[in-house]
Amino acid sequence: MLQRLQREQGSCAGLLGWLQASDPVHGLLVQKLFNVQQALDSAALPGNAQLYTCIESDPDACGEDVLGLMLLWGVLYHDPTLNAEQHRALLQSIAAVSCEDDWFEAFRNGLIKGDPVWPPEKVLKDFGVEKLVVYSLLDTLKSLLRHGAAGVPRNKALSILQYGKDNPENSVGLRLALTALLSWNERLLLANGDKRPVPAMAFWRLGSRLGRKAFIGQVLGCVLLTPYLALMSGTALSGIGVLLLGTLLLLGAILRRLHDMGRGIPMFLIFGCLSLVLPFMPLLLFGFPGDKLPNRYGVPPDSGGEDTLSGGLQTALRRLNG
């Protein structure tokens, strides 16, 4: 393990994220490495149970950063991998914070209920944090709580979270909150059993992803072949059936293409409504790239079975962020 860490990270710092809690030898090492700096330095994201222990063993690491602490406690409080006792302690910590500012009570109540609200921009400016990072964190947390594994956000949103986590100008509390949220998303992505891309011709797999090149081919095939086959079908009834089948295949291709971009049913419905007025709308999907990493709909269609998360979500996002 030390050799792997040296090879992938260039040093043996950040060992904590590579340790497995189920291994008794690793467990002995974990007891010595439970500290906040190890969690932030690790090339692999630590599990949130480990992260909780880090914070518990070093309660002063976050200082008096009210916003960062509330975000950190809020993410961990809702993480289902922590036990009831830990959840209870986190809830008590959230409830014990005292702040007389007007925004705080609504923010705290929303965080506890799992429906977090955005703090005002002025508040974030006073705390010296970027609103895009904090708002992305809160939106992602809300999405996970509402939709579970289906709430994992697009790669773009995850990249924003990783950027905030790696930014040393952010407070320790905020960076730990982002670490916890990224670890939660990584766990859900790795739990997805579909490790190989779905074939482009598997049109019945509507929950899968379709790459851009395959989408172009299928759209052209539907547009060019469907009218011809309808005319050659012989009867009006069979012609209508062919047209309906071609339309369904086209709609399925559009849905799978949107999945490749990290979009779902809401965007599909918007596309469908606009296409009634602007028939060329599906052509716009020719120009948009898909997510380069696995998303909630599966692995990238052009990955060729390669495990794009072999080094962990954090490593993959850092490559995307450059």
Residue at 204 is within a domain: no
- Give the whole-number percent of the chain exceeding pLDDT 70: 88
Highest mean pLDDT of the ranges 79-83, 195-199, 311-315: 79-83
pLDDT in tens, 14-65: 555 556 555 555 555 555 666 788 888 888 899 999 899 888 887 788 888 8
- Say which amino acid occupies 41: D
Q: Which residue has the higher pLDDT, 34 or 122?
A: 122
Q: What's the predicted TM-score (pTM) here?
A: 0.84
Same domain, 181 and 47: yes
Task: With beta carbons less than 8 A apart as the criterion, state whether 87 and 192 touch.
Answer: no
Looking at the structure, do residues 279 and 216 belong to the same domain, yes or no?
yes
Q: Which residues face 295 on adjacent strands? A: 298
One domain, residues 118 and 167:
yes
Both 36 and 170 in one domain: the answer is: yes
Q: Do residue 92 and residue 10 come from a single domain?
A: yes
Closest by CA position to 290, among listed 195, 156, 185: 156
pLDDT above 90 as % of the chain: 48
**Residues 84-93: pLDDT tens digits?**
999 999 999 9
In a domain, 198, yes or no: no
Q: What range does the domain containing 233 cover?
A: 212-306
For the chain, the domain total comes to: 2
Determine the Cα–Cα distance for residues 159 and 320; give it in Å rounded to an integer.
Answer: 7
Residue 208 has pLDDT above 80, yes or no: yes
Are the C-beta atoms of 294 and 187 separated by less than 8 Å?
A: no
Tell me whether residue 202 is in a domain.
no
**Same-domain check for residues 157 and 69:** yes
Q: Which residue(s) pair with 298 in the sheet?
A: 295
Unique residue bearing structure tokens 């293409």 = 257
Asked whether residue 109 is domain-assigned, the answer is yes
Answer yes or no: is 79 within a domain. Answer: yes
Q: Do 188 and 219 reside in the same domain of the chain? A: no
Whether residue 201 lies inside any domain: the answer is: no
What pLDDT does residue 15 have? 58
Co-location of 80 and 220 in the same domain: no
Same-domain status, 25 and 150: yes
Judge if 185 and 224 occupy the same domain.
no
Residue 89: Cβ within 10 Å count: 17
205 part of a folded domain: no
Contact (Cβ atoms closer than 8 angstroms) between residue 233 and residue 242:
yes
Check whether residue 258 and residue 188 sit in a common domain. no
Secondary structure string (H, E, C) spanning 102-164: CCHHHHHHHHHHCCCCCCCHHHHHHHCCCHHHHHHHHHHHHHHHHHHHHHCCCHHHHHHHHHH
36 and 94 within one domain: yes
Contact, 154 vs 295, CB < 8 A? Answer: yes
- Residue 8, pLDDT above cutoff 80: no
Note whether residue 206 is domain-resident: no
More confident residue, 235 or 92: 92
